[in-house]
Amino acid sequence: MKSIMVHAGGDNAFESRLQAGLDLARRFHGHMSLILPRPTQDYVAFDMFGGAHFVAEAFEAAEKEREKMCTRIDARLKADDVPWDWQIFDGTTSDALINAGRLGDILIMSLDAAGTTGTARAWISDVVTASRTPVLAVPANAAPLSFDRAMVAYDGGFEAANALRAALPLLQAASFVRISEIEMVPEQFPVTDAATYLSRHGINAEIAVAAKGDQSVEERLLAETKVWRPDFLVMGAYSHGRWRETLFGGVTRFMLSELGIPILLAH
């Protein structure tokens, strides 16, 4: 895990993303790229006659703020032992991150802060589904990353398998790894296969199979995380399938909203 991409911006959650990027870069001796979207479409105004014009003054003011932020972050990072660079992309936030992430090992984004509108989750949905780069979604007020305890949500599907493979460096760094399965999955790819796969990479993972009971899958999975208290969760970004949800509905949406710890996602 050498190429670490971080969504940069002037929002309050950027600090937690930056810290997560630094934590990963130090742990894996990697390079951190700060991806700064420049959404030019935000500076287009429309009139009542259907015309449009570019509001140059607003764009220039935003450019000055971005330059101030870059200067401030550069001054801070010079005191750190992590190599970094800036990559600025025109276009929407989602498009910028999708384009930047194509040669990244991991892309760090933010979960929505409590009481917000879900914009961050929409960006995560766009990026994970359009990109092949795994996303590490961190809480807006996240503490420094810990790699000690890792939980993998497994259901035997392609998404879970992709997330498992993408998370290998993080899982190898963990002291304890648990693979959690809610009820049974088809015998072709049982949870024991996931444990065998990890063992071939030097990871000794325990298996925990929980009955769903009268809870939903997402409620049961959340309960499992609260009991075992992992430092981060690995899970697939699920589409129509075994758990009967639309993409970023059901289990994935619920966990992004409720868990409160970093989540590594892959589709």
Instruction: For residue 20, tell me if it sits in a domain.
Output: yes
Residues 132, 241: one domain? no
Residues 161, 122: one domain? no
Domain-ending residue, one of 138, 160, 177: 138
Question: Range of 261's domain?
Answer: 149-266
Q: Looking at residue 29, which CATH number applies to its domain?
A: 3.40.50.620
CA pseudo-torsion sign 159, 262, 122, 243:
positive
Distance between CA 237 and CA 124 in Å, rounded? Answer: 10
Rg (CA), the chain: 20
Which comes out higher in pLDDT, residue 65 or 241? Answer: 65
Instruction: For residue 183, tell me if it sits in a domain.
Output: yes
Which comes out higher in pLDDT, residue 122 or 27? Answer: 27
Residue from 135, 174, 107 nearest 267 by CA: 135
Residues 115, 170: one domain? no
What's the pLDDT band for 52 if we cut at 50, 70, 90?
Answer: low
In sequence order, the 6+-apart residues with CB closer than 8 A to the CB of 116 are none
The region of weakest confidence among 52-66, 176-190, 238-252 is: 238-252
What's the pLDDT score for residue 135? Answer: 96
What's the pLDDT score for residue 248? Answer: 44
What's the pLDDT score for residue 182? Answer: 81
Query: Which whole number is the average pLDDT over 234-240?
Result: 74
In sequence order, the 6+-apart residues with CB closer than 8 A to the CB of 74 are none
Residues 155, 132: one domain? no
Instruction: For residue 143, tell me if it sits in a domain.
Output: no
What's the pLDDT band for 126 if we cut at 50, 70, 90?
Answer: confident
Write out the two tokens for 170.
Answer: 């993080």
Domain-ending residue, one of 95, 118, 138: 138
Whether the per-residue pLDDT at 107 is higher than 50: the answer is yes
* DSSP H or E stretch at residue 106: strand 106-110
Instruction: For residue 250, tell me if it sits in a domain.
Output: yes
Cβ neighbourhood burial of 68 (10 Å; 0-12, 13-18, 19+): exposed
Distance between CA 213 and CA 75 in Å, rounded? Answer: 54
Instruction: For residue 251, tell me if it sits in a domain.
Output: yes
Q: What is the pTM of this model?
A: 0.89
Residues 89, 209: one domain? no
**What are the phi and psi torsion angles at 196 (to 5°)?**
-65, -45
Q: How many domains are there within the chain?
A: 2
pLDDT digits 0-9 by tens, 152-211: 999 888 889 999 999 999 999 999 999 999 875 556 688 999 999 999 999 999 999 988
Distance between CA 263 and CA 137 in Å, rounded? Answer: 5
Distance between CA 128 and CA 213 in Å, rounded? Answer: 30
What's the pLDDT score for residue 145? Answer: 92
Distance between CA 31 and CA 73 in Å, rounded? Answer: 15
Average pLDDT in the chain: 86
Instruction: For residue 144, tell me if it sits in a domain.
Output: no
Longest dimension (CA), the chain: 65
Residues 134, 158: one domain? no
What's the pLDDT band for 242 if we cut at 50, 70, 90?
Answer: very low
What's the pLDDT band for 260 if we cut at 50, 70, 90?
Answer: confident
**What are the phi and psi torsion angles at 117 (to 5°)?**
-85, -10
What's the pLDDT score for residue 244? Answer: 35
Whether the per-residue pLDDT at 232 is higher than 60: the answer is yes
End-to-end distance of the chain based on CA atoms, in angstroms? 18
Which comes out higher in pLDDT, residue 1 or 219? Answer: 1
What's the pLDDT score for residue 53? Answer: 63
Distance between CA 18 and CA 153 in Å, rounded? Answer: 26
Strand partners, 150: 177, 232
Query: Which whole number is the average pLDDT over 123-144?
Result: 89
Q: Contact at 8 Å (CB) between 121 and 111?
A: yes
Share of the chain above pLDDT 70, in %: 85
